[in-house]
Chain A
Amino acid sequence: MAVLALSDVSKSFGAVRALRGVSLKLEAGEAHALAGENGAGKSTLVKILSGVHRPDTGQILLNGSPVTFGGPADARHAGVAVIYQEPTLFPDLSIVENIFMGRQPRTRFGRIDRAAMAEQTGRLFAGLGVELDPEQAARGLSIADQQLVEIAKALSRDAKVLIMDEPTAALSGNEVARLFGVVKALREQGCAVLFISHRLDEIFELCQRVTTLRDGTPVAEDLIADITPDDLVRRMVGRDLDALYPKQDGVPGEVALEVHRLTREGVFTDVSFRVRRGEIVALAGLVGAGRTEVVRAIFGIDRQDAGWVEVGGRRLRPASPTAAMAAGLALVPEDRRQQGLVMDLSIDRNIALAGLAEVRRGPLISRAAEHARAQDWAVRLRLKFARLSDPVGVLSGGNQQKVVLAKWLARKPSVLIVDEPTRGIDVGTKAEVHRLLSELAVGGMAVLMVSSELPEVLGMADRVLVMHEGRLVAELPRASATEESVMSAATGRTAA
């Protein structure tokens, strides 16, 4: 009998029918994948299983009998542990406190047992190979580190059902391998697992069964052993896909971005490189290698301690994103909720935000121009939405990412920096984003791409720069960049 199951569940948000007649069974000792394009309803399903949303119709079955989850606390008591798509940490509290909030171990007198918390966290982190200081506040953690903390939080629960909504979206190979090691062990102990990812190879590695959703409707349930990744893509998008990495070769022009001996004490040291017009340069490395920090400093969000940045031959004023934007730089940040979007603002306004100059008519902003521009990008990126005037916050995770991309691409910058550009984006649109980036490069834009997904790095980049512990350790031209060569540089096994 299934530990946790959904029977004929439907859920609507206003006019949007997020789920229609979905049934799903999570069996003990089985890892079940949920596949589907952005906005297919995966996260909605997760939130129903975790008690955040109530189904409009249909039932949740716990060990075969119907239950009603009044809130996340109820689901938790039933033994359901959840990693949500967007991190849900308390920035002011330490990592340990984040992991145990609401269910801290207590001594006999009701006092929180800090020693026990520290000890359990130590064991969890050792198992996952996480090297964060547990007493550190969660504020300022990178997206990947936040995800690792979320993972530790869910795993600390001795759950009967483990639900993971894109836990790996910002992680690189090493962390994913460790996570899978732990999850497989849990599965063998009889835990039921629900796993969501847009990286299909992960689904094929971890899971035994996969349910595919399309526009909220279940279209198939297969045993992983019976299908191929191409079959799965067809079920998700209803057609065959074009090449995932439609890379066109550009002709490198003059240097558009030059980074000279950039150093931020304690974060990265002596980073120098150039990006030419017409080139896509990837910045690869493990989580925590300092890639995001480098691009943040280039764009002027953080102040460097030494070194400088030149755009089109002119030196940038340090620590000034305004100056960077004026010089033609654009940054698609990794953390869309914190840095990329204004969640309460509408989709079209968010897209127009980075290029207000172009939708201005005199001192006023033209709503019509804003709208036309948003409409254009919405179609190009296959944005799934009800109305362009809806707040961005109600979009699915992947669709929010598309809005961030649209916002910066619409500016037509001369140097485009993208940090995890396809984080949480489905396979179909991923190919589209790759095609766009490639086109932009061929059209003379200089593109600097940070990505934790190795195939994306290898498939898209003209050159690969590899970082290890805050230093640039290798530069590999497209021809000699292989999974092997990049990984050995990223793990510090080869010197530059």
Chain B
Amino acid sequence: MTALSEATPPGHGGRRLFDRVTRVRELGIVLALAALFGVTGAVNPTFLSFGSIRDILLNSAIVAMLAVGQTLVIVTRNVDLSISSIVGLTGFGGALVLADSPAVPIAVVIAGCVALGVVCGAINGLLVGVAKVPALVATLGTLYAFRGIDYAWAGGRQVNAADMPESFLSLGSRSVLGLPLLALVALIVLLAVGWMLRNLRAGRELYAIGSNPDAAVLAGIQVRRRIMTAFMANGALAGLAGVMWAARFGTVDATVATGKELDVIAAVVVGGVAIFGGSGTVFGAALGALLLTGITSALAVLRVDALAQTAINGALLIAAIVLDRVLALRVAAALRRRRYRDAR
């Protein structure tokens, strides 16, 4: 039917279905979230209280922001394992400067942390994009390297809330328009990055690189530069997350955020971002972060013991991936039938 001029062009039905289908992944997480809140709220209504929801938003803000950054890297068919160390390094560094040199304005400290994150990201980008070290290996290396620097810098020292200015700590607990400030920051980042990925050439090129790296070169895309940018943007967000961590928890030492990278990658995958690149959105990734945090809180409210929680999280991760796969096959079959009917 492709080549026949007398055949009718595909109608809008196919288009609309296609649109719906691409949104299905996010929709699934929204449904899961609704179920989670519904069920847990029914068992224990305090879960739905203002304070509890505020806490969940606060707790997911940092992971969500990291998930947004990680998505930038994963769509290019790479991965950044080192983010937890970048968060640790910038979180501790920022807190230390605030505690030891109260004269430095808070805005400068935040900017400094972001800049430090960009530098760390650039190192990753150089290793992966330019030196062509596989991302898994390169960022595993920097995961240890950045953490090592962190340890050396700290020398066993811990910065306590009492050492930091109150105006900084309040950033971690303040609300604007009823939303926790940190959640608001994460939301703004999410919307901005989501818009850029969809509407800018650079954004689409990240998807192209992940979808077919060889073809990306032939299409004249500056693959190296784009990969660098993705890692640097991810580093910047990790730096920002580092300051947010310090403001939120008050007490920081060199072990901050250890192991967080796996939570972040889990959120991204649950959010429907393909681990081999080329597809998925930051909105999905952020929803994934919200869902995983929500589950942790719900399990605590339901008094499931902490060891079982980890296992349940794992099971949910696998369930999400299986569901995603089944859904994708279903959708492909539905599309095929739909196209056929359109062509009749």
Contacts and interface: CB of A to CB of B under 8 A. Distances in A.
Given A135-B18, A265-B336, A102 B5 contact: no
A140 B279 CA distance: 15
Contacts of A71: 217, 220
Q: For A52, A133, A140, which residue has the most chain B Cβ atoms within 10 angstroms? A: A133
Interface stretch (B8-16, B142-150, B281-289): B8-16
B4 A492 contact: yes
A92 B343 contact: no
A133 B217 contact: no
Nearest to A148: B2
A84 B14 CA distance: 30
Interface stretch (A104-112, A234-242, A372-380): A104-112
Nearest to A109: B199
A388 interface: no
A112 B199 contact: yes
A90 B220 contact: no
Q: Tell me whether chain B's interface is mostly helix, strand or loop, or mixed.
A: helix
A110 B199 CA distance: 8
Interface string A78-110: 000010100011111100010001111010001
A175 interface: yes
Contacts, number: 128
B211 A93 contact: yes
A226 interface: no
Contact of A133 (B7, B201, B205, B339): B339
B69 interface: no
A133 B335 CA distance: 12
B208 A88 contact: no
Contact of B208 (A84, A101, A145, A288): A101
Interface residues of A, number: 49
B207 A131 contact: no
B44 interface: no
B218 A93 contact: no
A136 interface: yes
Interface residues of B, number: 42
Interface in A188-223: none
B221 A130 contact: no
Contacts of A131: 1-4, 7, 9-10
B18 A90 contact: no
Interface in B191-233: 199-201, 204-205, 207-208, 210-212, 214-222
Contacts of A346: none
Given A145-B2, A491-B4, A91 B278 contact: yes
B336 A267 contact: yes
A90 B278 contact: yes
B337 A92 contact: no
A90 B216 CA distance: 8
Contact of A288 (B2, B211, B220, B279): B2
A145 B1 CA distance: 11
B268 to A, nearest CB: 16
12 contacts: A72-B220, A88-B218, A101-B204, A101-B221, A104-B201, A140-B332, A145-B2, A266-B337, A266-B340, A286-B3, A469-B4, A469-B343
Given A97-B204, A112-B204, 12 more contacts: A72-B217, A73-B221, A76-B220, A90-B207, A93-B204, A101-B204, A102-B221, A131-B10, A135-B18, A136-B14, A265-B336, A470-B1
Interface of B: 1-5, 7, 9-10, 14-15, 18-19, 199-201, 204-205, 207-208, 210-212, 214-222, 274, 278-279, 332, 336-341, 343
Q: Which 4 A-B pairs have the closest CB atoms?
A: A288-B2, A266-B340, A73-B220, A92-B278
